[in-house]
Structure 1
């Protein structure tokens, strides 16, 4: 009986135009050919802020990802809590900074896998923050990060 139900669901989904994973808010589609809005929190060796310039290994990775989506990057310098607030409110698409896989923000923002191979990570498992539920964006970003810095 259970196998029949699973088969029925699979057949129904095969006829749909559902893309899995999905972005309920359509973030990846909006960003592609548009603008990736990134909150950047200064982090020694990872994110450097000089005036309005945001540089370092994490901004370079984000810019590389944006280039694969034909997107511009708009950095906004904020603290970690402000980044999470802006992700929740839909004002940002991504957050970078000193966040690690032990971040206290996991209930309010989605986190990529931890990457200790990012230049400047110094053994920390650095994560990037995304809005909760934007799984298609997260999947595309993690595929890119895996290719650039390894899983």
Structure 2
């Protein structure tokens, strides 16, 4: 009986050593998870967050050169959390998605829902129902496909806003 116990401890030690070796190998390669292949989050932090907005009643309003509404306020707060300035572009959804693909904007906001038709061309946040000022409306936001660190940072921020 004691011999079997030693064998099991030996097997556990081997697995632990292999797991540690794998972790060290990944760390040596400077692998970051989640990753941004184009470095969107790093570029935006302390820089400029380029946001595209599709005007949507009750979410994003445009009056002359001014934007307002709950999505506008939320994105301005997110930008401030990254110590970034915000540059806004107003356009239709298709134009905004093309701008995401071209790298002209970092985030697209508007009346996008979880059933958005743009999932195959952009990364989509989780659906949010409880964001301030949304009156229970479901919304998602779009970021360039593959920019997972930016997406993760935006979702973490929105998670915090949803619980307020």
Query: 1:43/1:120 Cα in 2 relative to 1: closer, same or farther (>3 Å)?
Result: farther
**Equivalent residue number for residue 113 of structure 1:** 126
Aligned with residue 99 of structure 2, among 86, 104, 116: 86
Query: 1:102/1:120 Cα in 2 relative to 1: closer, same or farther (>3 Å)?
Result: farther
Consecutive unaligned residues of structure 2, counting only runs of 5 or more, are: 1-15
Distance (Å, rounded) in 2 between the aligned partners of 1:6 and 1:43:
49
The count of corresponding residues between Structure 1 and Structure 2 is 150
**1:36 aligns to 2:74 (yes or no):** no
> Partner of 2:51: helix, strand, or coil?
strand
Distance (Å, rounded) in 2 between the aligned partners of 1:6 and 1:100:
40
**Equivalent residue number for residue 53 of structure 1:** 66
TM-score (norm 2): 0.84
In terms of Rg, which structure is larger?
2
> Partner of 2:158: helix, strand, or coil?
helix
Structure ranking higher in helix proportion: 2
Deviation of the 1:150 alpha carbon:
3.1
Consecutive unaligned residues of structure 1, counting only runs of 5 or more, are: none
* 1:36-92 CA-partner distances (Å, limit 9, x unpaired): 000000111110111111111111111101101110001100001110000001101
Distance (Å, rounded) in 2 between the aligned partners of 1:9 and 1:104:
39
TM-score (norm 1): 0.90
Aligned with residue 143 of structure 2, among 91, 114, 130: 130
Native 8 Å contact 1:66 1:72 kept in 2: yes
Native 8 Å contact 1:46 1:119 kept in 2: no
Q: Which moved more, 1:5-14 or 1:140-149?
A: 5-14
Deviation of the 1:149 alpha carbon:
1.7
Query: 1:29/1:66 Cα in 2 relative to 1: closer, same or farther (>3 Å)?
Result: same
Aligned with residue 14 of structure 1, among 17, 23, 27: 27
Q: Which moved more, 1:56-65 or 1:16-25?
A: 16-25
